[in-house]
Amino acid sequence: MLSRLNDRQHEAVKYIGGPLLVLAGAGSGKTSVITTKIAYLIKECGIKAAKIAAVTFTNKAAREMKERVGNLVQGKEARGLTISTFHNLGLTIIRKEHRVLGYKAGFSLFDDQDTKSLIKDLMHKDFQADAEVIGWVQHLISGWKNDLIEPEQAMGLAQDDKETLAAVVYREYDRHLQAYNAVDFDDLIRLPVRLLRDHPEVLERWQNRIHYMLVDEYQDTNISQYLLVKLLIGHRSNLTVVGDDDQSIYAWRGARPENLITLGQDFPSLKIVKLEQNYRSTELILRAANTLIANNPHVYEKTLWSEMGGGDKIRVVSCRNEDAEAERVVSEILTRRIKDNDKYKDFAVLYRGNHQARLLEIKLQAFQVPYKISGGTSFFSRHEIKDIMGYLRLLVNPEDDNAFLRVINMPRREIGPSTLEKLGNYANQRHISLFNACAELGLEQHLSEKQIDKLRRFNHWLQQTIQRCTQEDPILAIRQMIQDIDYEAWLHQNSSSPQVAEKRMGNVWILLESLRDTLTRLEEDDDSATIEDAIARLVLRDMLEQQEKEDDSDRVQLMTLHSAKGLEFPHVYIIGMEEDLLPHRNSVDEGNIEEERRLAYVGITRARKTLAMTFASQRKQFGEMLNCTPSRFLDELPEADLEWEGRETQPDEAKRARGHAALESLKKMLGG
């Protein structure tokens, strides 16, 4: 288990006397230290797996970690081990402690779109809010939540009209979430922190449950995540965190790289181990990464070297436009696969923004190259999944008015807006949910008997389904529900072709399969797990994780630079190496170049054997062809290690060559 490790890694794994920080550059084996250490704690130190919690940021990273640990510890020995994202851990805590927090069982989890639509509703009451306004209100609220600032405090902190408006919405938004018995993404950390901070008996319970914590990608923790960790480990300080300040890329989402420094202040006995050998990339790739990141200021000096050999030069490919760029990447992958006998899955294409995947997808499909996208438009944003999830949410939490509104006319029940308005008014008056209001409504509310009947029938039918879920196999009950509403017929009426309808129905069955899977997995760890828990997990994208796991097939991988963090691939393409894309325009405006540079650093250091970067001379934006400038980051790479393609000789060089030639002919003319 330990034999493969170098001395420093060894030291980090075996150090269990107190808090430890492993601070090291990309590919130096930080995650490997965590996974080996988990095995070491279980096998050598006799700590029960159930008392260990390892957290990281993305589902993909958590899954990788599980796989790596799974190779070292199996079966009974691994039972109860927590390896999850921060948010999943938060969900576990809320699930167990919802009563203390004033939530009922079966609370709903609002995803990004739910949050947006609630904010939109709240704002529409006063004035027309466009997507941009909603976007920044959401962003500000999320920021406050991550900094553990409550609505009242936010009012006091607001600096201008914009922030005051957001603070007002924040207060309303928070109240509505409570009323809907719902929590949002940021609450998954904020509520557990509040809980552990304010309830010593709960804190004790959790401190007894978790005896050792490990945190990967520590540089990207925000204030609330850091506090959660700190509270959980308490005075025991049994903590190993690993991180790299050069890979901090989530400041825009509240991450605080200074948490690395805070750690030293909060834990004076903190031990720091630095790793220097990179085991991932060739020397040229590593040198490019090091040279680039040297342009950022550094708190901690790190050196990083590799014994993987020089390797190929880094290719920089200039393309006519974005279309040519996508085609170039795809056709290269095709030929390289055949020529070098590589697999599709050895190739990753990374980009700054999700929208850049669209053209790639089209070309990949055209060339029949299998691919998979992570982190893009998710399974959960598909209409059919949103529909059925709406029903599922209402099943487990009839207070969820958002879900109610989503499903009430889907399929059509001919319950019009004015009926819904009366229903809403009544529910407001009585402080009850829309769903419960359906059962109480009468002629006094100036509704026709027909309307009343429709609402009652809906309420009654769903009540029955809820009952069936508790009495028999919940998945069968849900299947029945989908048949009751004749969802398949609805899809056929509302899809462009029968094939599309069938595909969409197929997605619904995948959803149910995953629900069953999730439930089974939860029950393995916890007998009290219910269908509600399983549904909440699903909203947390666990299903995507599941899908990816099953999908071990040979596919080219497409993802954003952000979601590539922690991963590695033999061959990497970074596309769109242009000013305004990478570095992103907003960051340039806001003077956040350093974070963009770190993002490029993350991208480069994903590559093991070869790296290619592409840029387009022209790109379509807002329906207009714009001329693009190659990214400044390309100029920051060591010129001698690059191989440019498709670019005329460098302007300076060309000029110099021309000047030189002119001088020579002048000399000749003068007979010199």
Task: Check binding of 303 to ligand ATP (CB under 6 A).
Answer: no
The gap from C-alpha 137 to its chain's centroid, in whole angstroms, comes to 20
Which residues have a Cβ under 8 Å from the Cβ of 105 and sit 6 or more positions away? 98, 530, 532
How many binding residues for Mg ion (CB under 5 A)? 3
**Binding window for ligand ATP (CB under 6 A); candidates: 5-13, 92-100, 104-112, 453-461:** 5-13
Task: Check binding of 244 to ligand ATP (CB under 6 A).
Answer: yes
The response to whether 563 counts as a known ligand-binding position is no
Taking the least distance from each CB to Mg ion, the nearer of 29 and 311 is 29
Backbone angles phi, psi at 255, to 5 degrees: -65, 145
Report, in Å, the least distance between residue 273 CB and ligand ATP.
12
From the list Mg ion, ligand ATP, none, which binds 26 (C-beta under 5 to 8 Å, kind-based)?
Answer: ligand ATP
Q: What is the rounded distance in angstroms from the CA atom of residue 519 to the CA atom of residue 545? A: 15
Which residues have a Cβ under 8 Å from the Cβ of 612 and sit 6 or more positions away? 314, 315, 316, 317, 332, 571, 572, 573, 574
- Kindly write out the interface string for residues 247-266 of this chain, putting x where it contacts ligand ATP by CB under 6 A and - elsewhere: x-------------------
- 573 sits in which H/E element: strand 569-574
Task: Check binding of 243 to ligand ATP (CB under 6 A).
Answer: no
Report, in Å, the least distance between residue 64 CB and ligand ATP.
8
Report the chain's terminal Cα–Cα distance, integer Å. 74
| Whether the Cβ atoms of residue 561 and residue 602 lie closer than 8 Å to each other | yes
**Percentage helix, strand, coil for the chain under 3-state DSSP, each rounded to 5:** 60, 15, 25
The response to whether 280 counts as a known ligand-binding position is yes
**Binding window for ligand ATP (CB under 6 A); candidates: 30-38, 220-228, 262-270, 575-583:** 30-38
From the list Mg ion, ligand ATP, none, which binds 610 (C-beta under 5 to 8 Å, kind-based)?
Answer: none
Q: Which of residues 22-41 bind Mg ion (CB under 5 A)?
A: 30-31
Report, in Å, the least distance between residue 613 CB and ligand ATP.
18
- 275 sits in which H/E element: strand 271-275
Task: Check binding of 28 to ligand ATP (CB under 6 A).
Answer: yes
Taking the least distance from each CB to Mg ion, the nearer of 30 and 95 is 30
**Binding window for ligand ATP (CB under 6 A); candidates: 23-31, 43-51, 192-200, 249-257:** 23-31
Q: Which of residues 525-584 bind Mg ion (CB under 5 A)?
A: 566
Which pair of structure tokens corresponds to residue 163?
């922030």
- Kindly write out the interface string for residues 533-572 of this chain, putting x where it contacts ligand ATP by CB under 6 A and - elsewhere: ---------------------------------x-x----
Task: Check binding of 72 to ligand ATP (CB under 6 A).
Answer: no
Using CA atoms, how far residue 277 sits from 35, 286, 295, 603, in Å, is 18, 11, 21, 19
Q: Which of residues 601-630 bind ligand ATP (CB under 6 A)?
A: 605
Give the strand pairing for 277-278 and 271-275.
unpaired
Task: Check binding of 279 to ligand ATP (CB under 6 A).
Answer: yes
From the list Mg ion, ligand ATP, none, which binds 387 (C-beta under 5 to 8 Å, kind-based)?
Answer: none
Instruction: From 414, 466, 480, 470, select the one nearest 435 (Cα to Cα).
Output: 466
Which residue of 12, 20, 31, 249 would you call a contact of ligand ATP, by CB under 6 A? 31
Task: Check binding of 175 to ligand ATP (CB under 6 A).
Answer: no
Q: What is the rounded distance in angstroms from the CA atom of residue 530 to the CA atom of residue 202? A: 22
**Residues with catalytic roles:** 30-31, 216-217, 247, 606
Task: Check binding of 30 to ligand ATP (CB under 6 A).
Answer: yes
Using CA atoms, how far residue 622 sits from 271, 578, 584, in Å, is 52, 17, 16
DSSP letter, residue 186: T
The response to whether 24 counts as a known ligand-binding position is yes
Give the strand pairing for 239-243 and 20-24.
parallel
Which pair of structure tokens corresponds to residue 533?
């828990």
Q: Where are the beta strands (DSSP E) in 391-453?
A: none
Give the strand pairing for 314-321 and 305-306.
unpaired
Task: Check binding of 245 to ligand ATP (CB under 6 A).
Answer: no
Report, in Å, the least distance between residue 521 CB and Mg ion.
25
Task: Check binding of 240 to Mg ion (CB under 5 A).
Answer: no
Q: What is the rounded distance in angstroms from the CA atom of residue 16 to the CA atom of residue 20? A: 8
Instruction: From 131, 149, 152, 129, select the one nearest 140 (Cα to Cα).
Output: 149
Q: What is the rounded distance in angstroms from the CA atom of residue 45 to the CA atom of residue 68? A: 19
Q: Residue 373's beta-bridge partner residues?
A: 558
Task: Check binding of 280 to ligand ATP (CB under 6 A).
Answer: yes
Taking the least distance from each CB to ligand ATP, the nearer of 30 and 609 is 30
The response to whether 294 counts as a known ligand-binding position is no
Q: What is the rounded distance in angstroms from the CA atom of residue 660 to the CA atom of residue 638? A: 25
Q: C-alpha angle 238/244/245, rounded to 5°?
A: 110
Which residue of 5, 47, 50, 231 would you call a contact of ligand ATP, by CB under 6 A? 5
Taking the least distance from each CB to ligand ATP, the nearer of 304 and 447 is 304
From the list ligand ATP, Mg ion, none, which binds 630 (C-beta under 5 to 8 Å, kind-based)?
Answer: none
Alpha helices (H) along 531-617: 531-537, 543-550, 585-589, 593-604
Query: Residues annotated as binding site?
Result: 24-31, 280
Can you give the binding site for Mg ion, defined by CB under 5 A?
30-31, 566
Interface ranges with ligand ATP (CB under 6 A): 4-6, 9, 24, 26-32, 244, 247, 279-280, 566, 568, 605
- Residues tagged in the binding site annotation for ATP: 24-31, 280
